[in-house]
Amino acid sequence: MHNERLAAILYGVIQVQELTKRYGRTVAVEGLSFQARPGLVTGFLGPNGAGKSTVLRVILGLDAPTGGHALIGGQRYASLRWPLRQVGALLDAGAVHPGRSALDHLRTLAATCRIGEHRIGDVLEQVGLAAVARRRVGGFSLGMRQRLGIAAALLGDPPTLVFDEPVNGLDPEGIRWVRQLMRTLAAEGRTVLVCSHLIGEMELTADRIVVIARGKLLADTSLTDLTARHRTLEDAYVQLTATSVEHHAESPDRGW
């Protein structure tokens, strides 16, 4: 047990254990447990309203759990001394002041965790924004904002990365680039958790699949095992979530 905890701390394992989150009388997540481990891309899937965004927000300290816990490297996000150096995240690429340049945005983030100027240049080059680094973000396309969000996630060179819909707004070349990036990050021994509605893309990217619906776990298994029982990941996903999709077709999506 001691060795498992030490490994979680050293390698940035994401541990969700008996996580419950209620908003008033509404249960968004109930008793959810899973792990995202280093060296793997973990795809996090579920219908609209399944609770995926809530889980990510709890992992990243934006919401407090009603019960259970979500830990990164054995710690709550709020307890991390240098958050950007320990976990990088892309949740909302639009959450950048439109009057700032990409360079200034990254400089502001870097200053919070004492990250050097050279690293800013490195990530801008990595995501393909070096040539437009001094342009205001307000003039960026959605795809360019996504690339800037990915640059911010990579800024601290963290062992753990969380991405919510990272290919949103990207063209086919950009989608392929993100896919290769996710695979490379995992191959470097990092923990990569990716939430996406693009099932086909997850089939090309993920090593492990976690599926939830109505705030509960439906599957937590390797992509190989899941697709061995079904023709494709899409077939497996549709079968797993069929009842939940019918449920949400009868009620409005609350965005959890």
> Which domains does the chain carry?
2-95+151-249 (3.40.50.300)
In this prediction, residues 82-105 reach a mean pLDDT of 91
pTM for this entry = 0.90
77 vs 83: CA distance, rounded Å? 7
* Residue 100 DSSP class: S
pLDDT-derived band at 60, boundaries 50, 70, 90: very high
Average confidence score pLDDT of the chain: 90
Q: What is the mean pLDDT of residues 90-119?
A: 91
Question: Over the Cα atoms of the chain, what is R_g?
Answer: 18
pLDDT at position 253: 43
- Distance from C-alpha of 100 to C-alpha of 134, rounded to nearest angstrom: 9
Longest dimension (CA), the chain: 52
Instruction: Give per-residue pLDDT as tens, 64-83.
Output: 999 999 999 999 999 998 89
Check residue 3 and give its pLDDT: 59
Strands, DSSP E only, in 65-201?
A: 67-72, 87-90, 160-164, 191-195
Give mean pLDDT, residues 212-232.
93
pLDDT per residue over 8-17, tens digit each? 455 689 999 9
Buried b (16+ CB within 10 A) or exposed e, 218-254: bbbeebeebbeeeeebeebbeebbeebbeebeeeeee
